[in-house]
Amino acid sequence: MVTKIGLDLGYANITVSDTAAGIYREQSVALIDKDSRRIVSVGLDAIEHAEEFSDRALLVRPFKNGLLFDRQITQSIVSKVIGSVPQGERLRCVIGIPSDLVSKQEKDIFNILADSGITECYAVNRAAAALIGAGGNPNQSVISVNVGASATEIAIFHNGEVTYTSREMVGGEDFDKAVKHYIGEQGGVNLSLSVARAIKEQLGSVWHGKEEGSIDIEGTLALTGNSVKMTITSEDIVGVFEKPLYRLLMAVANAIKKIPLDQVESVFANGIVLTGGGSMLHGLDLMMSKILGVSVRQPSDPIDSVAKGLSLINARIPVRGKAVKKNVTNILASYYKE
Ligand SMILES: Nc1ncnc2c1ncn2[C@@H]1O[C@H](COP(=O)(O)OP(=O)(O)OP(=O)(O)O)[C@@H](O)[C@H]1O
Ligand SMILES: [Mg+2]
């Protein structure tokens, strides 16, 4: 019996997907012992225990920039999260990787997986995986845009080939920073990024149609450092997302510009498949579609598309019965031929 899982080590969320057991998502934070560098706990548990261990442990986000991470920490996290999956005799893993990962970094990831007891390790470009997770087919001509917390990954498919990939360092956290900056400038109140994120998730919008609302928050007065409670309304944050939104749209526009003219018609027939938690900002799909003049489709669970896609891909990879370390991005379409 081989258990086949997908593993997405994101900046905000670590997600494990198993086509049989479902999806397990955990916040991407770890409490690390300062001296031994061992993991005390991961995810929500880490946040809840941070104060208790504050004299000897540090809370870290281990997967900044989606690229290379500390080997020991990554290995502990991988071991911990895959422990949450019911395991058969063997575990086969497909991991999502950023488009600009260099081969040395790819090799390191494979070695980390192998050291965690996974003998068959595969890697797939994250935007490519997201397309599959959103119900797409890599033999279509289509643009996949995955907006994470730290980065936006783009992949374009044509005739079963990945013809373009890119990563732009803009994502959900840039929207949080825009809220934080705006409230700091306008109201003279410093907010934590997590409070700014809550404001964005509950009230944020880049297109009309979201119900008006308000949220009670706590911050500190910039002038005195004293704690202050305030109510933020939808009205208060209209227009705050302008700068990161522009960068995000430009990244997609730049990708579109690279499409050879004879492929434009077929790629535009399917348009953009938009995924990632960062894409859940209200109205982002509509804004993207109107500005870029291309249809945009979003699945109902965009935050889990990468992990879901990774496990679906895993289910299609033929069993080899031996140790394998392989990037399958460029042969993905062959698994989906009729
Ligand atoms: N309802 C919502 N509205 C707006 N943003 C949301 C919503 N729900 C989640 N998000 C955002 O989604 C982001 C997390 O998405 P995701 O899990 O795809 O990121 P990640 O994969 O961990 O990051 P990366 O791909 O950059 O490594 C956070 O910025 C979070 O604020
Ligand atoms: Mg991601």
CA of 149 to the centre of ligand 1 (A): 5
The answer to pTM > 0.85 is yes
Number of H helices, E strands in the chain: 10, 17
Domain limits for position 227? 172-237
Domain tally for the chain?
A: 3
For tokens 């027939």, the residue is 269
Note whether residue 41 is domain-resident.
Answer: no
**214 plus 283 within the same structural domain:** no
Rounded mean pLDDT, 234-252? 96
Q: Give the tokens for residue 66.
A: 């989606």
Q: Is the CB of residue 164 below 6 angstroms from any atom belonging to ligand 1?
A: no
Res 31 pLDDT > 80: yes
- In this structure, which residues have their CB less than 5 angstroms from ion ligand 2? 10, 148
Cβ distance 204 to 182 under 8 Å?
Answer: no
End-of-domain residue from the set 187, 203, 237: 237
**20 plus 121 within the same structural domain:** yes
The mean pLDDT value of the chain amounts to 93
End-of-domain residue from the set 209, 237, 265: 237
- Please tell me the residue having the least CA distance from ligand 1 atom 1: 201
What's the rounded Cα separation, in Å, for the pair 289 and 175?
Answer: 19
**251 plus 289 within the same structural domain:** yes
**278 plus 193 within the same structural domain:** no
Res 1 pLDDT > 90: no
Rounded mean pLDDT, 229-247? 96
How confident is the model at residue 230, as a pLDDT? 95
What's the rounded Cα separation, in Å, for the pair 168 and 236?
Answer: 28
How confident is the model at residue 233, as a pLDDT? 96
Note whether residue 58 is domain-resident.
Answer: no
Specify the CATH number for the domain of residue 184: 3.90.640.10
How confident is the model at residue 69, as a pLDDT? 64
- Residue 241 to residues 213, 273, 297, Cα–Cα distance (Å): 17, 22, 21
Note whether residue 209 is domain-resident.
Answer: yes
For tokens 């374009």, the residue is 156
SS3 of 333, please?
helix
What's the rounded Cα separation, in Å, for the pair 41 and 29?
Answer: 9
Predicted confidence (pLDDT) per residue in 105-145, tens digit: 889 889 988 888 888 999 999 999 999 999 999 999 999 99
Q: How many residues does the chain have?
A: 338
CA of 126 to the centre of ligand 1 (A): 14
Close Cβ partners of 185 (under 8 Å, ≥ 6 residues apart): none
Predicted confidence (pLDDT) per residue in 272-292, tens digit: 999 999 999 999 999 999 999
**93 plus 176 within the same structural domain:** no
**203 plus 318 within the same structural domain:** no
Note whether residue 53 is domain-resident.
Answer: no
Rounded mean pLDDT, 233-250? 96
Note whether residue 135 is domain-resident.
Answer: yes
SS3 of 241, please?
coil
**114 plus 222 within the same structural domain:** no
**191 plus 310 within the same structural domain:** no
CA of 280 to the centre of ligand 2 (A): 13
Cβ distance 210 to 190 under 8 Å?
Answer: no
Ligand nearest the Cα of residue 152 is: 1
Q: Is the CB of residue 303 below 6 angstroms from any atom belonging to ligand 1?
A: yes
Note whether residue 192 is domain-resident.
Answer: yes
Note whether residue 35 is domain-resident.
Answer: no
CB count in 10 Å sphere of residue 213 = 10
Cβ distance 123 to 35 under 8 Å?
Answer: no
Res 338 pLDDT > 60: yes
First to last CA, the chain: 26
**114 plus 218 within the same structural domain:** no
Predicted confidence (pLDDT) per residue in 53-105, tens digit: 999 999 988 887 655 567 778 888 888 888 777 666 788 999 999 998 888 88
- Residue 231 to residues 195, 219, 234, Cα–Cα distance (Å): 12, 11, 10
Q: Give the tokens for residue 188.
A: 């003279």
What's the rounded Cα separation, in Å, for the pair 174 and 179?
Answer: 9
CA of 11 to the centre of ligand 2 (A): 7
Lowest mean pLDDT among 42-46, 203-207, 217-221, 296-300: 42-46
Cβ distance 296 to 270 under 8 Å?
Answer: no
Close Cβ partners of 175 (under 8 Å, ≥ 6 residues apart): 200, 204, 241, 244, 245, 278, 281
**229 plus 246 within the same structural domain:** no
Q: Give the tokens for residue 33.
A: 């012992």
Rounded mean pLDDT, 234-243? 95
**149 plus 189 within the same structural domain:** no
Q: Please name which of 87, 1, 12, 18 lies closest in space to residue 280, comparing C-alpha atoms.
A: 12
**110 plus 190 within the same structural domain:** no
Rounded mean pLDDT, 205-233? 96
DSSP 8-state secondary structure symbol assigned to residue 282: B
Note whether residue 45 is domain-resident.
Answer: no
DSSP 8-state secondary structure symbol assigned to residue 319: P
Lowest mean pLDDT among 85-99, 169-183, 184-198, 270-284: 85-99
Ligand nearest the Cα of residue 61 is: 1
Specify the CATH number for the domain of residue 288: 3.30.420.40
Distance of CA 315 to the CA centre of its chain: 21
